[in-house]
Amino acid sequence: MKKITLTLIKADIGGYVGHSASHPEIIALAREELLRSNLLIDSYVTACGDDLQLIMTHWEGVGNEDIHKLAWDVFLKCAEKAREMKLYGAGQDLLKTSFSGNLRGMGPGVAEMSFEERKSEPVLIFMADKTEPGAWNLPLYKIFADPFNTPGLIIDPKMHEGFAFEVLDVMEDKSAMLKCPEHLYDLLVLIGSPGRYVIKNVYKNKPKMIAATSTTSRLSLIAGRYVGKDDPALIVRAQHGLPAVGEILEAFSFPHLVEGWMRGSHNGPLMPVRVKDAHPARFDGPPRVMCLGFQIRNGKLGVPRDMFDDPSFDLARQKANEVAEFLRRHGPFEPHRLSSDVMEYTTLPQILKELEHKFKASEHKRIKQKLKRLELEKKVKKSHAFK
The residue from 12, 93, 129, 146 that is catalytic is 12
- Integer Cα distance of 51 and 11 in angstroms: 5
Percentage, residues of the chain above pLDDT 70: 95
What's the pLDDT score for residue 223?
45
**Beta-bridge partners for 235:** 125, 213
Please tell me the predicted confidence (pLDDT) of residue 96.
Answer: 77
Q: 126-165, pLDDT tens digit by residue?
A: 999 999 999 999 999 999 999 999 999 999 999 999 999 9
d(CA 288, CA 48): 9
CA dist 231 and 264 (Å) reads 10
pLDDT of 329 reads 97
Other beta carbons within 10 angstroms of residue 276's beta carbon come to 9
Q: Look at residue 242 and tell me whether its pLDDT is greater than 90.
A: yes
Look at 337 and 383; give whichever has higher pLDDT.
337
Peptide bond into 181 cis (omega under 30): yes
Establish whether 226 is a catalytic residue. yes
pLDDT value, residue 229: 54
Please state, for a pLDDT cut of 90, what percent of the chain lies above it: 77
Looking at residue 226, its pLDDT comes to 46
Residue 12 annotated among the catalytic residues of the structure: yes
Per the annotation, the verdict on 284 as an active-site residue is: no
Res. 385: pLDDT tops 70: no
pLDDT in tens, 72-114: 999 999 999 999 999 999 998 887 777 877 887 788 999 999 9
Residue type, 294: F
pLDDT at 219 over 70: no
Q: Residue 280: what pLDDT?
A: 95
| Pairing of β 271-272 and β 288-296 | parallel
Q: What is the average pLDDT across 117-123?
A: 97
pLDDT at 387: 57
Of the residues 44, 141, 226, 345, which is catalytic? 226
DSSP 8-state symbol, 194: T
Q: Mean pLDDT throughout 245-253?
A: 98
pLDDT band at 345, cuts 50/70/90?
low
pLDDT at 218: 58
Q: How sure is the predictor about 353, in pLDDT bands with cuts at 50, 70 and 90?
A: confident
Task: Give CA–CA dist 219/105, Å, rounded.
Answer: 8
Query: pLDDT digit string (tens) for 157-211?
Result: 999 999 999 999 988 889 999 999 999 999 999 999 999 999 999 999 999 999 9
- Choose the weakest-confidence range: 100-109, 155-164, 212-221, 306-315: 212-221
Stretch among 7-16, 70-79, 97-106, 349-358 having the lowest mean pLDDT: 97-106
From 229, 230, 284, 345, the catalytic residue = 229
Helix ranges (DSSP H) in 192-307? 219-223, 245-250
Task: Give me the helices (H) in the chain, please.
Answer: 24-36, 65-84, 137-145, 152-155, 184-191, 219-223, 245-250, 314-328, 340-343, 348-355, 363-386
Residue 20's closest CA among 220, 234, 286?
286
- Render pLDDT for 225-234 as a digit per residue (tens, 0 to 9): 444 457 999 9
Per residue in 277-297, pLDDT tens? 999 999 999 999 999 999 999
